[in-house]
Amino acid sequence: MAERPGWQQQAESLGFKFHSIDGAPYWDESIHYRFSVDQIERDIESPTEAVHELCMDLVSRAVRNEEYLRRLAIPGRFWDFIRDSWTRGDPHLYGRMDLGYDGRGPAKLYELNYDTPTSLYEAAVFQWVWLQECIEQGRLPAGTDQFNSLQEKLLLAFESLAPHLGGLMHFASVRESQEDRATVEYLEDLATQAGIRTQYLAIEDIGRTADGRFTDCDNRVIETIFKLYPWEFLLADEFAQYLPTSAATWFEPPWKLILSNKGALALLWELHPGHPNLLPTFFEQESPASPLPAGWVRKPLFSREGANVELVTEGGERVEVPGPYTDFPYVRQEYHALPRFADNYALIGSWVIGDQPSGIGIREDNSLITRDTARFVPHIVVD
């Protein structure tokens, strides 16, 4: 479908300044994906809810069995930190599952992005703006819908948190990342709408007191903080020793370390072999003679945006993405090809807000491995 005239200026005015990255389009409305109501409800929404429940059960098991934490390569000195976070009932805000779905067979879980998922603003806001304008301009018929209640559920989540937070809530990201900053600013705005006092802070500017409490640039003690920064990076930082005693409430909470780890995919399969929405996945160090048939994907326990992922198709084609995550153990997952449309492969990101499926975003890449250069494309739902 033809692009809307002036959408780039609209994106800029709405704060979506990373609609293009390094001169290449990130947002792409020259195409869109169409789903039936049944495809959404039966094949995406229901499996998302079911897999999320399996994930919560996995965390409950892992905090009671240190062997799980060892297999996930989480440093032993932080096991109590994670366990206490879960037993305290530390709340969580959001997460994204990456699913392979061709419109026919069951959706398959590739990965969990349950600690620092991005592509949130474009999924929650800009593709909804696109939908409404296309309907108003007659490009799409009246009544066309979208699987997208992200903003509504995020606002409700912050409203439910507001009475329990007390003082100031900090929002932090890496200083030089425009995409991360935009995601954090979007969430900060929703928190403000929910009546929460907020303050942005670059991760690099977090300080500490003599007794190990974390502080902002005004030397205020951080009581509650949303950090768009991976837990595994925080655990490796020189100030990690103060995490367990800082008395801060973290979003996402420390127990998300269990689910942001690709070893969770192996544990889920171990606990639920044959589940229609899971792919056979195994810890590589535990299965040196891989039980997988021809065709596999090799992933580090911790990696982002396709980095250090290697795959071999059933036909022997090899695809590999370089990256910095070379110091972690690996899992091997059965190869399950992304659906191909024209010359592109489509990956569905299915969002969970709190514990509820809340919408999808789709990224396209011309590679079998979805990388940080993938394009975000909108979708519609039609009867």
**pLDDT tens-digit map of 211-252:** 889 999 999 999 999 999 999 999 999 899 999 999 999 999
- Cα 303–58–371 angle (5° rounding)? 20
Please report the beta strands in 233-355, taking only residues with DSSP state E, as ranges in sequence order.
249-251, 281-283, 296-300, 310-312, 318-320, 330-334, 340-341, 344-353
Specify the pLDDT at position 306. Answer: 65
- Which band of pLDDT confidence, cut at 50, 70 and 90, is reported for residue 21? confident
pLDDT tens per residue, range 109-121: 999 999 999 899 9
Contacts by residues 291-296 (CB-CB < 8 Å, ≥ 24 positions apart): 292/332, 292/333, 292/334, 292/335, 293/334, 295/334, 295/335, 296/332, 296/333, 296/334, 296/335
Averaged pLDDT, 155-184:
92
The greatest distance separating any two alpha carbons of the chain, rounded to the nearest whole angstrom, comes to 62
Specify the pLDDT at position 258. Answer: 97
Cite the DSSP H helix spans in the chain: 7-13, 37-38, 46-62, 66-71, 79-88, 120-121, 127-136, 150-165, 178-193, 231-236, 263-271
Specify the pLDDT at position 304. Answer: 67
Specify the pLDDT at position 291. Answer: 54
Evaluate if residue 290 carries a pLDDT over 70.
Answer: no
Give the percent of the chain with pLDDT over 70: 97
Specify the pLDDT at position 148. Answer: 98
Evaluate if residue 310 carries a pLDDT over 90.
Answer: no
Evaluate if residue 181 carries a pLDDT over 90.
Answer: yes
How close are the terminal C-alpha atoms of the chain, in Å?
Answer: 20
- Which band of pLDDT confidence, cut at 50, 70 and 90, is reported for residue 289? low
- Alpha carbons within 13 A on the beta-carbon side of 145: 12
Residues 6+ apart with CB under 8 A from 48: 97, 99, 350, 352, 357
- Which band of pLDDT confidence, cut at 50, 70 and 90, is reported for residue 320? confident
Per the listing, tokens 């919560």 go with 56
Evaluate if residue 166 carries a pLDDT over 80.
Answer: no
Lowest pLDDT segment from 14-18, 96-100, 158-162, 366-370: 366-370
- The C-alpha atoms of residue 37 and residue 146 are separated, in whole angstroms, by 9
Give the percent of the chain with pLDDT over 90: 78
Averaged pLDDT, 363-372:
83
Residues 51/24, Cβ–Cβ less than 8 Å? no
pLDDT tens per residue, range 34-56: 999 999 999 999 999 999 999 99
Report which listed range, 14-28, 126-140, 311-325, is most confident. 126-140
